[in-house]
Amino acid sequence: MAKHIPKDRTGLSLGYRALWRTRYVLYTFFGPATQSGMRDPHYRMRAERLERVNAARAAQGLEPVEDVDPRTR
C-alpha cells in the first residue's frame, strides 16, 4: 500500500496538494531517516493521501484507485 503517489487528485484541494508536497520535500531533507513500512514518513504520507483520494472517489461513486507502480505500465 502507498508505494507511489497516486496521479488522481480527486477530493484534494490546491492548498492541500501544495502543503502536502512541501511537507514531502521537507521530510526528504530535514525529516527522520528512511524506515520500513508505516514508520517511514514518506510512506505514511502517501498512504494517507491514497486513503483521502479513495474516500472522495467513493463519495462520488467511482472505483477506488489502486496503488500501482507507474513505471511498470
Domain ranges of the chain: 1-63
| Residue pair 52/5 in contact by the 8 Å Cβ criterion | no
The cell 505514511 sits on which residue? 44
The pLDDT, as a whole number, for residue 55 is: 94
The pLDDT, as a whole number, for residue 3 is: 73
pLDDT in tens, 9-57: 899 999 999 999 999 999 889 888 777 777 888 888 998 999 999 999 9
- The amino acid present at 45, given as its one-letter code, is M
* Distance, CA of 71 to CA of 69 (rounded, Å): 5
* Distance, CA of 16 to CA of 36 (rounded, Å): 25
